[in-house]
Structure 1
Amino acid sequence: MWLVFKKELLELLRDRKTLFFMIALPLLLFPLIFGAFGFFASKAVKEAETKVLKYAIVGGEYAKGLSDSLAAASDKFELVEVGADADFKQLIRDESIDFALKVPSNYDQPLLEGGQATLVLVLNDAGLNMVQSRVKELVDSQVENKRRQAFDALALNDFQQTGLLKPVVIEKEDVADSRENWGEKIGGFLPYILFLLCLQGAMYPATDMGAGEKERGTLETLLISPTERHKLVLGKFLTIAFAGVTCALMTILSMAVWGIVLSQGMAIKVVGEFMSAISALDFVLMFLMLAPIAAIFAALLLSLSIYARSFKEAQSYMGSLIMVAILPIVMAMMPGVDLKGGWAWVPITNVALAIKELIKGTMDYVSLFAIFGSTVMIAGALIAFCVYWFNQEKVLFR
C-alpha cells in the first residue's frame, strides 16, 4: 500500500498541472483573484462617489435651500433643464439624467405648520450609482434645520430635544466575548472554504488515477502486478486525500499570509488577537476533523473515476459532486442549526458545525467523539465500497 502511495505521489509531484492546482493556484491565483476583485470593487465605488450626477428638479421654488445646495456642489451635481411634464423615467433610461427630484409645496414650510414633506426621488437603482446616499447627505442637512426650527418654536432645551428624538434607547450588554462574536461571523464560512478546496484539490489527481489510467492503457499493467487490489486502492486513495488536504491548507496559509502582508496595522492587531485566542488544541482538532472529510471526498472521487470510461466523463461526474458537498455546508450556516439533537449526526454538516464551535470557543469537546466517530465510519464505508468497486471487472473495463 505504501509503495503504491509513494509511486502515485511521485507521479503526482512530477505532473506540472497537479503542482499548479495544489501549490501555485492556492498561493498565487486565489489571492490575485481576491485582490483584483477588491481593487475593481473599490475603484467602482470611488467612481460612483465622484461621478458628476446630472439631475432635474420639479418644484425647486419650494426648496430654495436644497436647490442652492445642489447648485453649489457643481463638482458633484449638474442641473439639466427639463419641463415639468417631462418623462423622467425615459430620460433616466436614455442616460440624459441620473435622477430627478419632485419637491412638494410644503417642503420649505416650518415643520409644525407644513407637517411631513414627501420628496420623490426618481432614479434607476439597479446598479452601483450611490445616487440615493449622495442626495440624502444634502437632504439630511435640510431636515436638521427643520428640526431645529421646530425645537426653537417649542422652546425645548437640549435634554428635551434628545428625549423627543429618541424617547427610548436600548443599551446592549453582550455576554459573548470578542472571539465568540467573530467566530459566529466567520466560523460558518471557514468550513465552506476548507471543504470545497479539499474537494477541488482532490479532483484532478482522482481523475488521473482512475479514468486517466484507463485512457493511457496503464491500468491493465497495474492490475497484473503482484500487489493486492485493496492495497492498490488504498495507495491511490491516500494520494488523493493527501492532495485535497494539501490544497486546502496551502490556500488557508496563503490567505493568512497575504492578509497580514496587505492589511493595515490595526487589522493585523485584530487578526492577531483573534488568532491568539484560539488554542493550539483547537487548531489540531480542526485539522483532525478535516482528515475524515478528505477521506470521504477521496473515496467518492476515486469511485467515480474508476467507473468513468474517460477523463472527460469522470470530470462531468465530479462536477455534480460539488453540489452534493455544498448543500450540507450551507445547512451548517443556516440560523438555528447547531450541534444539538440530530444535527450532530448529519454527515459533513456536523463537522462544519464543530469547526464553527471550535473557532467560537464554545465547543463541547465530549460531542467530538460522536462527530469524529460517525464521520470516520462513513469514510470507512466509502473506502470499503471503493475497494469493492475496484474488484469489479465490469466496472474497470466498461
Structure 2
Amino acid sequence: MWLVFTKEIKELLRDRKTLFFMVALPLLLFPLIFGSVAYFSGKVIKEAQEKTLNYALIGAQYAPEFAAKMAARDDLLLIETTVTRADEAGIKALVTEQTVDFVLVVPENFSNDIITAGQLTLSLYLNDAGLNNAQRRVYEVIDDIAIVNQADAFARLGVSEEIQVGLLDPILIEKISTADKREDLGEKIGGLVPYLVFILCLQGAMLPATDIGAGEKERGTLETLLISPIPRNQLVLGKFFTIAFAGVTSAMITVGSLFVWGVVMSQGMAIKLLTEFMGAISALDFVLMFLMLIPVVAIFSAVLLSLSIYAKSFKEAQGYMTPLVFVVIVPIIIAMLPGIKLEGIYAWIPLTNVALAIKELIKGTMDYVALVPIFLSTTFIAGVLIAFCTYWFKQEKVLFR
C-alpha cells in the first residue's frame, strides 16, 4: 500500500500542472481573487458614498431653510424641474429616466413650528433597488432641522431637558450580551470556515483523483499496475491515501496563504483582533477540527476515486466530479441556517454535523459529547465508501469499460 502511495506521490510531484493547482494556485491566485473582490467591493461602496447625487426639489418655497441646507451640501446637486406635485407620473419619470437620482416633494403645510404643524411627511422618490445613499443624505439634513425645531418647541412649552429626554425616548433597552468576543465573532464567521475548508479539500483532491484513475486508463499504465503482485485492496488504499493527502495539503496551503496574506495586508487593529481571536481558540479545539476533517476527506476521496475508476477518460471523470461541489454545499448551507444546532438528528447528518461542530468549536460553546455521533456517523460512512471503492476496483467490467 505504501509503495503505491509513494509511487503516486512521486508522479504528482513530477506533474507541473498538478503542482500548480495544488501549491501555486492556492498560494497566489486564491488570495489575489479574494483580495481583488474585497478591494473592488470597497472601492465601489466608497465611490457610491462620495458620488454627487442629482436631485429635484418640488415645493421648495414652503421650506426655504430646508432647501438652503440641501443646496449647501457638496454631495448634492439641485436640478431645476417644471414637474408639479400633482404629476406623480412625471415625478417618477425623472427618476426612471435618470434625469435625477431622487425627487423630494415638500408638503404645502411645511413649518418649523411643531406645535402648530404637527408631524410632517415629505415624499422621497428614488430607485431603491441599487446602492443608493440618497435617503441617508436627506435624513442628515432633516435631522439637523428636526433637532432645532424640537428644542424650540420644548422651550416654548417650558419642558425641562430631563423631561425632554423622557418624552423623546420614553423607554430604553440596555443590551447586555452574555457572549464574549470569541463567541460573537465565531457566530458571524464560524459558518464560513467549514464552507471554505470543505470546498478546498474537495477541489484539491479532484485533480489527483482524476489523474490516478481515469488518467492511468488513458496513459495505458493501469494494466501494468494490475499485473503487479500487490493485492487490489492495497492498490486502492495507496491511491486513496494519495488523494486524501493531496486534498488536505491543498486546503491547508490555501487557508495558511489566506491567513498570511490577510495579516500582511490588514491594518494593525485587524491583526490585533485576529490574533486575540485565534489565541482564544485552544490547541485542543484546533486538533479536534483537524481530526473531524479526516473522515470528511476520506468520504471525498473514496467518492472521487470511485468515479475516476469508473470513468473512461480524464474528461469524463471531470464531468462526473464537478456536480459534487453542489452536493457538498447543501449540507453546509443547512448548518448555516438560523435555528440549526448541533443536537438531535443534526448531530448524525454527515458534513452538516462536522460544519456545526467546527462552528461551535470556533465559538467556544462546543458540547464535546456531540463528538461521539459525529465521529461514529462520518467514520462509518467513510468506511462504507472505502469498502465500496475497493469492491469497485475489483470489477473488471468497471476497470475496462
> Mapping of 1:66-81 within 5 angstroms?
66-73=66-73, 75-81=74-80
1:276 pairs with 274, 279, 298, which one? 279
- Alpha-carbon separation, structure 1, partners of 2:275 and 2:344: 34
Post-superposition Cα deviations, 1:344-386, rounded to whole Å, max 9, x if no partner, equal 1111111111111111222222331331122111111101001
Question: What is the DSSP-based 3-state SS (H/G/I as helix, E as strand, rest coil) of the residue aligned with 2:384?
Answer: helix
Q: Given the alignment of the two structures, is residue 329 of structure 1 paired with residue 364 of structure 2, yes or no?
A: no
Paired residue secondary structure (1:128): coil
CA shift digits 1:118-154 (9 cap, x unpaired): 1111112222232222222222212222222222232
The equivalent residue for 2:82 is: 83
| Distance (whole Å) between structure 1 residues aligned to residue 245 and residue 154 of structure 2 | 70
Shift in alpha-carbon separation, 1:124–1:392, aligned structure 2, 3 A:
same
Shift of 1:221: 2.0
Q: Does 1:142 align with 2:145?
A: yes
The amino acid that maps onto 1:71 is A
Q: 1:10 to 1:107 in 2, by over 3 A?
A: farther
State yes or no: 1:220 paired with 2:223.
yes
Matched, 1:36 2:22: no
Conservation of the 8 A alpha-carbon contact between 1:229 and 1:387: yes
SS at match of 1:366: helix
Following the alignment from structure 1 to structure 2, what is the Cα–Cα distance between the partners of residues 211 and 181?
A: 46
Q: Contact 1:202–1:243 (CA<8 Å) still a contact in 2? A: yes
CA distance in structure 2 between the partners assigned to 1:17 and 1:153 by the alignment: 80
CA distance in 2, matches of 1:301, 1:4: 18
* Code of the aligned partner of 1:82: T
Distance (Å, rounded) in 2 between the aligned partners of 1:341 and 1:79: 60
Give matches, 1:223-302, under 5 Å: 223-302=226-305
1:384 aligned to 384, 387, 391, which one?
387
Query: Aligned partners of 1:354 and 1:379: how far apart in 2?
Result: 18
1:137-176 matches, within 5 Å, as: 137-176=140-179
Q: Secondary structure, in 3 states, of the residue corresponding to 1:107?
A: coil
Q: Quote the Cα distance in structure 2 between the aligned partners of 1:363 and 1:71.
A: 56
Quote the offset at 1:33 in angstroms.
Answer: 1.1
* Corresponding residue SS for 2:229: coil
* Residue aligned with 1:8, SS: helix
Q: Which amino acid aligns with 2:148?
A: N
State whether residues 64 and 108 of structure 1, in contact with CA within 8 Å, keep that contact through their aligned partners in structure 2: no
Letter in 2 for 1:79: L
Contact 1:196 / 1:322 at 8 angstroms: preserved in 2?
Answer: yes
Aligned equivalents of 1:208, 1:89: Cα separation in 2: 60
- The runs of at least 4 aligned residues of structure 1 exceeding 6 Å deviation read none
Q: What residue identity is the alignment partner of 1:58?
A: I
Aligned residue type for 1:288: L
Which of 80, 92, 95 does residue 95 from structure 2 map onto?
92
**SS in structure 2 opposite 1:56?**
strand
Match of 1:200 in 2: 203
Q: 1:127 & 1:271 partners in 2: Cα distance? A: 32
Contact residue 83 and residue 91 of structure 2 kept, 8 A: no
3-state secondary structure, aligned to 1:55: strand
Report the CA distance between 1:109 and its aligned residue. Answer: 4.1
**Aligned letter for 2:28?**
L
Give the distance between the partners of 1:291 and 1:198, measured in 2 at CA.
10
Identity of aligned residues (%): 62
3-state secondary structure, aligned to 1:347: coil
Shift of 1:389: 0.8
* Structure 1 SS opposite 2:262: helix
- Residue number among 358, 368, 387 corresponding to 2:361 in the alignment: 358
| Structure 1 SS opposite 2:55 | strand
1:55 is matched with 55
Deviates more, 1:39-48 or 1:295-304: 39-48
What amino acid is aligned across from residue 76 of structure 1 in structure 2? Answer: D
Equivalent position of 2:123 in the other structure: 120
Deviations 1:150-191 (A, max 9, x none): 222322222111111111111122222222222222212111
Is 1:349 aligned to 2:348, yes or no? no
**Contiguous gaps of at least 5 residues in structure 2:** none
**8 Å Cα contact 1:13-1:19 kept in structure 2:** yes
Q: Match for residue 24 of structure 2?
A: 24
Q: Distance in 2 between matches of 1:99 and 1:242?
A: 57
CA RMSD in angstroms comes to 1.5
* Inter-partner Cα distance in structure 2 for 1:53 and 1:337: 43
Residue ranges of structure 1 left out of the alignment (5+ in a row): none
1:183 aligned residue: 186
For residues 304 and 365 of structure 2, what CA distance do their matches in structure 1 show? 34
- Of 97, 101, 104, which aligns to 1:101? 104
> Aligned equivalents of 2:59 and 2:217: distance in 1?
77
TM-score, normalising length: structure 1? 0.96
Give the aligned residue type for 2:116.
Answer: E
Contact kept, 8 Å, 2:343 with 2:370, in 1: the verdict is no
2:161 and 2:19 map into 1 onto residues whose CA distance is 68
